[in-house]
Amino acid sequence: MSEPLPLLNQRYGDLAPQLDLSAGGDILQLLLRHRSVRSYLPDPLPEGALETIIAAAQSASTSSNLQVWSVVAVRDPARRDRLAELAGKQAHVRAAPLFLVWLADHARLRQIGADRGQTTEGLDYLEMLLVGVIDAALAAQNAVLALEAMGLASVYIGGLRNQPELVAAELGLPKGVFAVFGMCVGYEDEQHPAQVKPRLPQQAVLHLEQYSLPAQSPAVAGYDRVMAEFYAGQGMAQPDWSSTVMARVRSGRSLSGRDRMTEALRNLGFPLR
Ligand SMILES: Cc1cc2nc3c(=O)[nH]c(=O)nc-3n(C[C@H](O)[C@H](O)[C@H](O)COP(=O)(O)O)c2cc1C
């Protein structure tokens, strides 16, 4: 067997920056090793692992300490089956022993307002939905790092937004709570290991002092070449990254039902003023 490539080459292919990762200790290695995993063993998580992961999630920053997020932990196989269907028939939702649903949650603050007889009109604005979504995402990513440090694996499931009202009904969500994304959690089936997926060269995403769009074209072209090799190595049909992302954003129809998100959010109790 050949030696695995250094982490920076796994992350960027031959367009890797020359960097010394040693200053960051184990945490930098952990960050650069991240992989979304879609093949799981049925083994459950050890006692206390869920609560440890949530402690890490709750340690993320949260806008104004509002903590407008929550999470539903789903272990019941029948419920995971139904959620797998709702998320576009994603088999890994069925396979992983734990499914976490990360929520933007205004219900708690609405309830405090109702209990005190005070208005919560500020929650009616789009800004406050963004706060909930940002809070949920920061918490979830802390959870990913924690579970990876514990030898577990995960994959986010944005497919859960394909049918938001049905997901809300399945999870018993009250008005003002929106499932931002799901997350499969479990032990990777090492018979089908996931690879580190290369990212855009830093020249495309890192701008010094002022933003530049023209500077990105050569970086994107280089990345298309790196990803063409990656896809071929995975036996995947995509010719390159640009073609893949264009298929995703071509039209409203290519959003798998999420083109009606404004309507769905209003149905779920977010006025979006
Ligand atoms: C918010 C979000 C939603 C995602 N939704 C899905 C999904 O529904 N199904 C899936 O298999 N992967 C999903 N992913 C995983 C991405 O496809 C993955 O992160 C990306 O291809 C990069 O690969 P990596 O995480 O292995 O580096 C999602 C990722 C994010 C951040």
The answer to the question of residue 181 being in a domain is yes
Q: Does the residue 224 lie in any domain?
A: no
Residue range 5-43, pLDDT digits in tens = 899 999 999 999 999 998 888 999 999 999 999 999 999
The reported pLDDT for the residue numbered 210 is: 98
Give pLDDT, residue 261: 98
Note the pLDDT of residue 250: 96
- Output the ligand 1 site: residues, CB below 6 A: 34-36, 38, 90, 155-159, 181, 197
**Quick one: pLDDT at residue 3?**
75
The one-letter amino acid at 24: G
Tell me if 234 is assigned to some domain.
Answer: no
In this structure, is residue 256 part of a structural domain? Answer: no
Question: Is pLDDT above 90 for 136?
Answer: yes
Alpha helix segments (H runs only) across the chain? 7-12, 25-32, 49-58, 77-86, 91-95, 107-116, 126-149, 164-171, 202-205, 216-233, 241-249, 261-267
pLDDT attached to residue 24: 86
| Residue identifier of the C-alpha nearest atom 18 of ligand 1 | 36
- Asked whether the predicted pLDDT for residue 2 surpasses 80, the reply is no
- Does residue 216 form part of some domain? no
Residue 4 has pLDDT above 90, yes or no: no
Domain assignment present for 223: no
How far does residue 35's CA lie from ligand 1's centre (Å)?
9
Q: What is the pLDDT of residue 23?
A: 87
Position 97 scores a pLDDT of: 98
Give me the domain span that covers residue 100: 35-195
Identify the CA nearest to 97 among candidates 183, 158, 192: 183
pLDDT in tens, 223-235: 999 999 999 999 9
Among candidates 29, 38, 185, which has minimal Cα distance to 102? 185
Q: What is the pLDDT of residues 60-86, one digit of tens each?
A: 999 999 999 999 999 999 999 999 999
Question: In the prediction, which pLDDT does 60 show?
Answer: 98
Under 8 Å between Cβ of 73 and 183:
no
Q: How many domains does the chain have?
A: 1
In a domain, 255, yes or no: no
Give, rounded to a whole angstrom, the gap between the first and last alpha carbons of the chain.
58
Residue 1, pLDDT above cutoff 60:
no
pLDDT interval class at 254 (50, 70, 90)? very high
Which of 35, 93, 155, 245 has most ligand 1 atoms within 8 Å of CB, for mutation?
155
CATH (domain of 95): 3.40.109.10
- 248 within domain boundaries: no
- C-alpha 92 – ligand 1 centre gap (Å): 12
Only one residue has tokens 């209990």, namely 115
Average pLDDT taken over every residue of the chain: 97
